[in-house]
Amino acid sequence: MALSRFLVPMLALWALSISSSWAQFYRNIQLPSELQKKTVGVRLVDYVKHTNVLKGMSEKDAEELQKRWNRFVERDYDLDETLNLFFHDFPKQGSEGYLLPLTAFGKTKKGGQYQFIQADVNFADDDFEVVVKNVYDLNDTLFEMSVGLVERKLIVRDTLSPLKMVFPLGVGSFDEGVLNDGVTLLTPRFENAFVDKWAVISERKKPRYFKGKPFIRITTDENPANGHTAIGFHVQPNLDTFIRAFDSHGCMRMQLDDLIALHDLVKSGPHRRLSINVKFNIDDQADHPFPRINRPYKKVLNAGTKENPRWTLDRDDLVQTTKDWDNFAPYELLQDVDGDTHHEIFDYDMSWRRAERRENKQEACYAKFPYKEIEDEKDRKEMYEEYEDCLKDGRRRRTLRDRIYRWWTH
């Protein structure tokens, strides 16, 4: 009895010692201040590529874990494809390697359900050991999305769990007083808008520069037919190298892997639509380490003067933009407006602006050549021809190369 009373506290002390030493085996990494908000929610492959925090881990190592996730986990947690593998907490460092709190997202081989599998991943000696800690089913989530246009980021956050992902974006070019007064972006702002699975195109093949990859459209009404917009998320045109810049005609560009993960989250999720807000600046400070490009940046081409600006169309019938190589993007001038439910100062396809310009041109030409008021038929016909020439003056002429491009692309 006396021995028992002696052994119990000794065993408890020993267990506490073991537990304490294990807790101290991995210690917090002292992240630079700029990386403290650029870790949680970030894809492991991106983190390794764009930071030097995990010394000894290569991009190939990170890709190996994501692509061959099933090699490192029990069969119950096998995935058909790991769509995202991201940090849900800060990494820790030990004497021989790292402890990485990672979440894998994908469809399970067993049961075919989309799940978020949270695990502690030990990395040492170029190898991984994965210990699953928690599992969240996509059917038990309610995600919401926030876009910060200035920082060029998309934050996807579950309102029912701690799940959170951060994706870098490329966003719209600047309009510096050509289409509108003041300075703004070609990407509209949306408050209380939606990403509706009925409005998602899983394989967009036209125009061809979408390369058959997903197009995730933003809608402004619960009925997508009423709230249809031309703005959405897609890949860099022609699958060119992704850049986190101000360079689009209004849509938001994503890395291909990020776009596919977002597509499956929306299309396979339990809700027909998810809420999205798009602003110049958002309160959530979470960010992504992918570098932002602020020079050069694209802006609407001014084919007129500063006093009398004039826009033109490119061969896709979108507003013509140009690169400013000399200056930094003036994003500090971008200010949100309260209650701005749909910032309609820019129409992506330019249809109403073209119609407005055509009407103004018709009025101006008719004022010069009022052919309808001429009684003599021959004189009226001659003046009508002058009127037609007036309408054509300054109009962009399509070359054979342009026509071939439009036939092939659109």
Residue 349 has pLDDT above 60, yes or no: yes
Domain extent for 162? 143-333
Residues 175 and 244 in one domain: yes
Residues 165 and 273 in one domain: yes
Residues 206 and 317 in one domain: yes
Among 137, 163, 188, residue at a domain's last position = 137
User: Is residue 271 in a domain?
Assistant: yes
Residues 191 and 312 in one domain: yes
Average pLDDT of the residues in 60-86: 97
Residues 80 and 217 in one domain: no
Residues 148 and 118 in one domain: no
Residues 276 and 158 in one domain: yes
pLDDT in tens, 253-304: 999 999 999 999 999 999 999 999 999 999 999 999 999 999 999 999 999 9
Average pLDDT of the residues in 222-247: 94
Taking alpha carbons only, the member of 406, 334, 359, 345 closest to residue 151 is 334
User: Is residue 231 in a domain?
Assistant: yes
User: Is residue 12 in a domain?
Assistant: no
User: Is residue 339 in a domain?
Assistant: no
Residues 32 and 66 in one domain: yes
- Number of structural domains found in the chain: 3
Residue 226 has pLDDT above 70, yes or no: yes
pLDDT of residue 24: 41
Among 333, 360, 375, residue at a domain's last position = 333
Residues 133 and 149 in one domain: no
**Percent of the chain scoring above 70 in pLDDT:** 91
> CATH number of the domain that 290 lies in?
2.40.440.10
Residue 347 has pLDDT above 50, yes or no: yes
Residues 44 and 184 in one domain: no
Residues 306 and 256 in one domain: yes
pLDDT of residue 13: 41
pLDDT of residue 9: 44
Question: Is the model more confident about 140 or about 2?
Answer: 140
User: Is residue 167 in a domain?
Assistant: yes
User: Is residue 10 in a domain?
Assistant: no
Residue 318 has pLDDT above 60, yes or no: yes
Among 137, 160, 184, residue at a domain's last position = 137
pLDDT in tens, 78-104: 999 999 999 999 999 998 899 999 999
User: Is residue 341 in a domain?
Assistant: no
pLDDT of residue 134: 97
User: Is residue 2 in a domain?
Assistant: no
Residues 257 and 285 in one domain: yes
pLDDT in tens, 132-184: 999 999 999 999 999 999 999 999 999 999 999 999 999 999 999 998 888 99
